[in-house]
Amino acid sequence: MMEKSSTEQARRFDDIKANYYEICENIEKAAAESGRSANDITFLAATKTVEPEFINYAVSLGLKYIGENKVQEMLTKYDEYDLDNSQLHFIGHLQTNKVRQIVGKVSMIQSVDSLKLAQEISKQSLKNNVATDILLEVNVGREENKSGVLEENLEEILEKISVLEGLRIRGLMSVPPICDSKQEIFKFFDKMYKLFIDISSKKSDNIYMDYLSMGMSDDYMEAILSGANMIRVGSGLFGARIYR
Ligand SMILES: *Cc1c(COP(=O)(O)O)cnc(C)c1O
């Protein structure tokens, strides 16, 4: 890797700082508009491809949640995260055979999309004597190439997962399709909110609908307006991703 000049690095820190405060302001605005306060919204930074020094800088500004997408990348960066001041979530597609590598290291797995995966999280959590919080990922746009549970299967899978030990269902997560218009994205966010409320209202044992995680850099304000209480922002905070 090329040495970065210190001015380039300083500029990146400045950008992250400006972005961080702007996002916080926007969260406050959108929260207020939906009758809530910024404290009701969890701001998680999606940190894929971002070096720990920049992640930790955002944490020093007040960021409290970070989310990684890839097991290998997360493990490589793991020792460098400032986890005294932040919580680590896993937000990417997770293969069952990699669960044991992250259980005990992450406080939440947001991308649970099958019973089999939940069973493995349960097994590994019990083995490690921890309880892992999970969100069920919903494929709200019914996209072939995307993971996530289809809405018609959600209740059945939630019920089966809810009896597993070593994990706690804490809510729903979604990555809606890329949309051309705000109107279109609202349709998906509103559908997610409805599912979230429907499940909450059933008050089933061991199913806690505390979090509705949706909204990314381009649409987190719309997500909040639709009822999201956790957003996942990457490039809007750290700048465009550079894949190496
Ligand atoms: C990358 C990623 C994000 C953030 O995307 P941006 O558009 O960069 O804000 C959010 N959620 C998941 C699951 C991601 O993989």
CB-based contact 172:197 (threshold 8 Å): no
Domains of the chain plus CATH, in order, are 2-238 (3.20.20.10)
Which ligand 1 atom is at minimum distance from the Cα of 48? 1
In the structure, what pLDDT confidence band is assigned to residue 243 with cuts at 50, 70 and 90?
Answer: confident
Which ligand 1 atom is at minimum distance from the Cα of 92? 13
CA of 220 to the centre of ligand 1 (A): 11
In the structure, what pLDDT confidence band is assigned to residue 14 with cuts at 50, 70 and 90?
Answer: very high
Between the CA atoms of 144, 147, 153 and 157, what dihedral angle is there, to the nearest 10 degrees?
Answer: 160
For the stretch 157-214, pLDDT in tens is 999 999 999 999 999 999 999 999 999 999 999 999 999 999 999 989 999 999 999 9
Q: What is the pLDDT of residue 158?
A: 98
CB-based contact 95:89 (threshold 8 Å): no
CA distance 144 to 121: 25
3-class secondary-structure state, position 209: strand
Q: Is the CB of 228 under 6 A from ligand 1?
A: no
Query: What mean pLDDT is reported for the chain?
Result: 96
Q: Which residues pair with 42 in a beta bridge?
A: 230
Tokens linked to 172: 């729903």
Is the entire prediction scored with pTM above 0.85?
yes
Q: What is the pLDDT of residue 228?
A: 98
Q: Is the CB of 147 under 6 A from ligand 1?
A: no
- Quick one: DSSP state of residue 106? B
3-class secondary-structure state, position 232: strand
